[in-house]
Amino acid sequence: MSQPMEFWTTLSTNFLVLVIGSVLATISYLAYRREQERSFRIAALGFVLVTLGNLTVVVYQTMVKGSYVLDGLELLRLQTIQGALILLGFSTLFYSLHRY
């Protein structure tokens, strides 16, 4: 446990985002299966994309790089990917709500 407290706080909050995002995606998918309304399936995809976008940086830091220290360009690229996934997820959610 030699990592700083901020590292564990980030990991904990991202884990909670994963759990809540997964629950929301599952609820949307189950609603789709029950109602056969396509917008629920689209909403499930939106929740998955937002959840993945939020987890991008912490997954890269812990599983790919193995360090919580990132250089400027690396961080900028990760934030761009993160922002694109979240934007795509919110756009998908907007579309599903608009369809419904």
Q: Is the pLDDT of residue 36 over 60?
A: yes
Q: Is the pLDDT of residue 58 over 90?
A: no
Give me the pLDDT at residue 52, please.
93
Please tell me the pTM assigned to this model: 0.83
Instruction: Kindly report which listed range (19-23, 38-42, 43-47, 57-61) carries the lowest average pLDDT score.
Output: 57-61
pLDDT in tens, 64-95: 877 777 788 988 999 999 999 999 999 999 99
Question: What is the pLDDT of the chain when averaged over all its residues?
Answer: 89
The 3 state secondary structure assigned to the chain is CCCCHHHHHHHHHHHHHHHHHHHHHHHHHHHHHHHCCHHHHHHHHHHHHHHHHHHHHHHHHHHHHCCCCCCHHHHHHHHHHHHHHHHHHHHHHHHHHHHC
Domains held by the chain: number: 1
Q: Is the pLDDT of residue 41 over 80?
A: yes
* Domain region containing 30: 5-99
First to last CA, the chain: 48
